Amino acid sequence: MRKIIGILIAFGLTFTIMTPASAAAKQGIYQLDFIPLSTNLGEITLAEGEVKLMVSKLNNAYRAITNGKFGIELRSILPGVKTSDPMKSVTDMTKLLNPTLKVDTGYAGAILIGYMPRDTNVVFAGQAQGNQYVLLNFPINESFKTLMHEIGHNFGLAHAGTAVCSPTDAPSTCAAIEYGDYSDFMGNYVYGNPPGATVARTSAFNLDNLGVLDSSQITYVDTSTTLDLVPVYGTAPGIKLAYLPILGQRGYAIEYRPAIGDDLQLMATEVPVPGTNSYYPNQPSHGVQVRLLPSVAQSYKSAAPTITYSGFQDISKNSGFSGAMSNLLEKFDKGRQGMDPGESVKLFDGSIVTVLKAEANIGASISITRPLTTMTTQFAPNAVSARWDTSATDLTYEDTAMKIALIPPTSTSALPVIRVEYKLPETAIRLLSSELIVNGTSVLSANPSELIYNNAGAPLITPSAAFTYAPKSLGEYKVSIRVKDAAGVIVESPAIILKSKNPDLKDYTDLCLQKKGWPATCSAYPVFQFSFCDTFAQQSISLQTGKKYKLIREMKGVINPTACTDGKNIYFYDFVGNYPDPKLAKAVYKTSAKATKGRVPSEGFFTIVLKKGKR
């Protein structure tokens, strides 16, 4: 009697949720560190030969699917760690080890893999966290697919599910299975289960998430067309991935996965285990494949089908993860994941994908009919903001809205830059271009990647884009954003006016002290002040009137060592007065001290000059 090998290994136990990485992984070689974790279930060790063999298989598999852009290398098997506590999650591992994982020079990253005694009460065979940690709960020599999957999580990939959507005409609901994709090791890639397995593959969508497809292999289908797709893992040049943009984000991904070569097993209904009378059940998953991509943009979320998932290990933990998953469309009554010539599928926006022909070694021709849309591309109110960069230290503003920047005439700093931020306008398909318009002229263009919501494995929601523009001179700048959508419609936002200028000159009247050897000081009319130190204890202050001087104040000096520091002129005088007449261009004052026993009289002069102008 033939034995079916555990569905739990192939589906329920092999994978579990991870914490998605925040961005696409850096390409290059990754170092693996292994560490045995003995628990209350017993001691555990790692055989160097088994570890090296497994790492070699992982390296070969990742290099094969990424054209050598990702590789894996064993760095070390660390001394084992013992704990009396059970190991229920990768978080328990990181709490126990509190690791600081460093990356050696020349490597793209490092991953620490903890190896624990088999715990059948734990629902996972492997669990990943972030981009550096994996906990393995399965024999090392049988964990090829598990480690491919968990390292895929470390690289930012999400689970690969399947969805049956209804009604067939413009579906509004989808029943999805978390690990339902039998053609992707981020789903239920059964061919990777047998102990001798060395091949594991993923979708073209995930290859794009890893950044291994170049621009010539990817296209966006904005309008109805006929398209030729080459096999994803073939060597022929051509399109390997077609995106259907909907409402400003990638809505569906289409690829051709024929069951040939290392993908031959994709047509099998069962995968035998060599040397045994056992097999793994398999669901055929090949042909033209259409994947519903995760919702990111709010307008897309509102229009896309409602997805109900099953197959989670722990729905309380995994339900949040479903937002990052792709779902391969299938029909349960067909027993196949993928389409053959003559078959078609209608998508939720009304688009229809039809397979015209397919030759496994050459490619597939498909027809894509996109519906006419009445939605108008438009900016939301207040979607665009423009301001001066506030980091300039000598920048002030004439207005409370900070639209008019005042630059001191004496400033030696560079002119301030304009910062423009804008929310992506809603559009039926996608935006093709976005330009910054300044005074009617296009001065900058956005990177196309900024114009579509990014729903890669770990979604990076990009609700806005930004420009920074550096004016070459002071002046008035009318700033707006001009976009072009997939239908060729050009829309421009209302202009925002920013100004930069020197501060307006204001009238001033200053009183400036002039005396040889004294520092020049000025104060605002009509009050002026001067201070001095002298050897006499009493001084008379007189104002010149015609050819004579008129006494205006008698003053007694104050001994002030802080102000008078030479030890000789010990008496401090501080005179404050009003300017005598605004018609006078200047006023001359005399200080005088009477003769005393043994001392001759002294006198001094200073001038207060009236200055008027603009500044």
Q: With bands split at pLDDT 50, 70 and 90, how would you rate the model's confidence at 193?
A: confident
Handedness of CA 60, 64, 65, 70 (dihedral sign): positive
pLDDT digits (tens, 9 = 90+) for 570-587: 999 999 999 999 999 999
pLDDT digits (tens, 9 = 90+) for 241-279: 999 999 988 999 999 999 999 999 999 988 888 778 888
Backbone angles phi, psi at 567, to 5 degrees: 80, -5
Ranges of CATH 2.60.40.10 domains, the chain:
384-501
Bridge-based pairing of strands 352-359 and 344-346 is antiparallel
The three-state secondary structure class of 86 is coil
Q: What is each CA distance from 511 to 529, 532, 575, 614, in whole angstroms?
A: 9, 18, 14, 14
Cα 485 to Cα 379: distance, rounded to the nearest angstrom: 12
What does pTM read for this prediction?
Answer: 0.77
Considering only CA atoms, which of 161, 97, 159 is closest in space to residue 134? 97
Backbone angles phi, psi at 148, to 5 degrees: -55, -45
User: What does the block give as tokens for 246?
Assistant: 């909907």
Average pLDDT over residues 414-437: 90
Average pLDDT over residues 96-117: 94
What confidence score (pLDDT) does residue 455 get? 60
Ranges of CATH 3.40.390.10 domains, the chain:
27-155
Class of domain 384-501: mainly beta
Average pLDDT over residues 582-610: 90
Q: What is each CA distance from 558 to 102, 388, 541, in whole angstroms?
A: 71, 53, 16
- For 120, residues 6+ apart whose C-beta sits below 8 A from its C-beta are none
Q: What is each CA distance from 464 to 426, 430, 449, in whole angstroms?
A: 12, 14, 12
Q: What is the CATH number of domain 27-155?
A: 3.40.390.10
The radius of gyration of the chain's CA atoms, rounded to the nearest angstrom, is: 39
Considering only CA atoms, which of 374, 366, 427, 375 is closest in space to residue 221? 366
Judge contact between 476 and 497, C-beta under 8 A.
yes
Element (H, E) at 614: strand 602-614
What confidence score (pLDDT) does residue 332 get? 57
